[in-house]
Every structure is written in C-alpha cells, then in structure tokens.
C-alpha cells in the first residue's frame, strides 16, 4: 500500500521516488534583520522564526536521500529580466537593483540575495533563480522536475501568500501534487498566511494539501 502523510483536507499518498522538497526564497534580504524586507517596514522576526523548522525538513529529506530544490527571487545584474511594472510599482525608498543594506536589492550574486546560512544549499542541490513570484515562470524548473521523475512537491519557505502560493498554484496547474508544510512557511502578515493555507486546502484541496512538518518527517522515516 502507498505510504501517506496525514494532512488537510485528507491524507497525502506519496511515492518516494517521485517526491521532492522545494524551499522558496529563504533569502537574507527577506529574512535577516537589516535587510531589504526590514527596510520596507516589515517585522522580519515572523520569517526568521521558521528557519529551524525548514532546517528540520531539509535534514529529513537529505537523510532520506530525497531531492531538495531551493529558489531565490532575484534578477540579473543588468536587470534585463526585471519588467518596468515590477521595478516601478509603488513608492518604496529602495527599488530592486538599488544599493541596499545587503548589496543591490534582489540582484543575483549580491549578499542579500543569498539563502540564509543555516539553510544553505548543499553541493549538487538544485538552485532556481527566478525573476517572478512563481518558481516556474522563466526558469528551468519544469524540465528539471520532468528530467528527475518528480511529480509530488513538498513546499516550504516565504512568503506564504506571495511566492509560495504562486509557485504552488503554478505546480498544481502543471499536474504536480503539492503539500505545504504549515510551520515551515511564513508571511510578514500572519492573517495572510492563515488565509493562504485555507485557500489551498478549500474545495477538496483545490490547490493542494497542508500539514505540519512533523507529519512529513514522521512519514519519511
Ligand atoms: C516572496 C515577496 N518571496 N514577498 N517575495 O514572497 O516579494
């Protein structure tokens, strides 16, 4: 019988050889005090508090020999992949590409665009640099997943209602089973996190499944 992870709205059956963990945008600029996120007035402690839980998930996948994928929201140094509509929206004091507290904001290769040290990718793990909120738009993620026979994705990372939910919706539309680890994701706005998870599991799992990390790691052992 196929193993299952207990989840909302019902059990998540999985096949180990088709399963991967995808950690969305756990980057210094979103998470660390003194970064871009904090400069926008956000309370980054909400995001920082999930780092140990994401580390637990990463350890479980690595110990089980299952694939891990990391994403980073960032742009090329010449900003050729940054639409004007994204750069010019609103009136922030700092825009993408500007010199910020941790180098140029959301530019590949800058310190702020790196994943926080506690969750740093291991050699050989796939890292997807994405110019959009979704991990599939303008990236090679789909071909990587297809090439490795991956059909089921466990999601963690930030922020729940922006890059995590967008990526999960993209994956769902492409035929992947998607499960979000509820305590390994966070938002600057706790109500938005709650609402995003409710939207994912509503209507019989219209976008996917949701469950705490312990249910996932317990099922992998
Ligand atoms: C992510 C954002 N990673 N909130 N980006 O969610 O702008």
How far apart are the CA of 164 and the centre of ligand 1, in A? Answer: 8
Contact between residue 33 and residue 44 where contact means Cβ atoms under 8 Å apart: yes
| pLDDT given for residue 182 in this prediction | 98
How far apart are the CA of 29 and the centre of ligand 1, in A? Answer: 10
The CA angle 4-61-2, to the nearest 5 degrees, is 20
| pLDDT given for residue 27 in this prediction | 98
| pLDDT given for residue 156 in this prediction | 99
Work out which ligand 1 atom sits closest to the CA atom of 157.
3
Please report the sign of the dihedral spanned by the C-alpha atoms of residue 149, residue 152, residue 154, residue 157: positive
Strand pairing partners for 126? Answer: 69
Identify the residues whose C-beta falls under 6 Å from ligand 1. Answer: 25, 30, 73, 158-159, 162-163
User: Taking the C-alpha atoms of 152, 7, 128 and 24 in order, what is their torsion angle to the nearest 10 degrees?
Assistant: 170
How far apart are the CA of 211 and the centre of ligand 1, in A? Answer: 22
Looking at the annotation, which residues are catalytic?
25, 130, 163
| pLDDT given for residue 53 in this prediction | 98
Residue nearest to atom 1 of ligand 1 (CA): 163
| pLDDT given for residue 7 in this prediction | 98
| pLDDT given for residue 34 in this prediction | 87
How far apart are the CA of 71 and the centre of ligand 1, in A? Answer: 11
> Of 170, 193, 179, which is closest to residue 49 (Cα–Cα)?
193
| pLDDT given for residue 1 in this prediction | 87
Question: Measured between alpha carbons, how far is 3 from 217 in angstroms, rounded to an integer?
Answer: 13
User: Candidates 37, 50, 162: which one to mutate for ligand 1, based on the most atoms within 8 Å of Cβ?
Assistant: 162
Category of 193 on φ-ψ map: left (φ > 0), alpha (ψ -120 to 50) or beta: alpha
Work out which ligand 1 atom sits closest to the CA atom of 25.
3
| pLDDT given for residue 86 in this prediction | 94
In order along its 221 residues, the chain shows pLDDT tens digits of 899 999 999 999 999 999 999 999 999 999 999 888 998 889 999 999 999 999 999 999 999 999 999 999 999 999 999 999 999 988 888 899 999 999 999 999 999 999 999 999 999 999 999 999 999 999 999 999 999 999 999 999 999 999 999 999 999 999 999 999 999 999 999 999 999 999 999 999 999 999 999 999 999 98
Largest Cα–Cα distance in the chain? 55
Residue nearest to atom 3 of ligand 1 (CA): 163
Contact between residue 184 and residue 156 where contact means Cβ atoms under 8 Å apart: yes
Radius of gyration of the chain (CA): 17
């Amino acid at each position: 019988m196929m193993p299952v992870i207990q989840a909302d709205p019902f059990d998540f059956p999985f096949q180990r050889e088709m399963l991967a963990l995808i950690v969305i945008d756990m980057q210094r600029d979103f998470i660390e005090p003194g970064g871009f996120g904090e400069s926008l007035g956000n309370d980054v402690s909400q995001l920082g508090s999930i780092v140990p839980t994401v580390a637990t998930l990463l350890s479980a996948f690595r110990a089980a020999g299952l694939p891990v994928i990391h994403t980073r929201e960032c742009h090329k140094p010449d900003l050729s992949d940054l639409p004007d509509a994204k750069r010019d929206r609103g009136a922030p004091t700092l825009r993408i590409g500007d010199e910020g507290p941790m180098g140029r904001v959301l530019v590949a290769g800058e310190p702020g665009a790196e994943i926080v040290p506690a969750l740093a990718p291991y050699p050989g793990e796939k890292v997807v640099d994405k110019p959009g909120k979704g991990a599939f738009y303008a990236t090679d993620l789909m071909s990587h997943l297809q090439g490795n026979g991956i059909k089921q994705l466990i999601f963690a990372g930030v922020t729940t209602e922006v890059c995590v939910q967008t990526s999960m919706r993209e994956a769902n539309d492409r035929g992947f089973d998607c499960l979000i680890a509820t305590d390994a994701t966070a938002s600057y706005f706790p109500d938005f996190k709650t609402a995003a998870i409710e939207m994912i599991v509503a209507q019989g799992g219209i976008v996917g499944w949701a469950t705490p990390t312990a249910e996932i790691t317990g099922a992998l052992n």
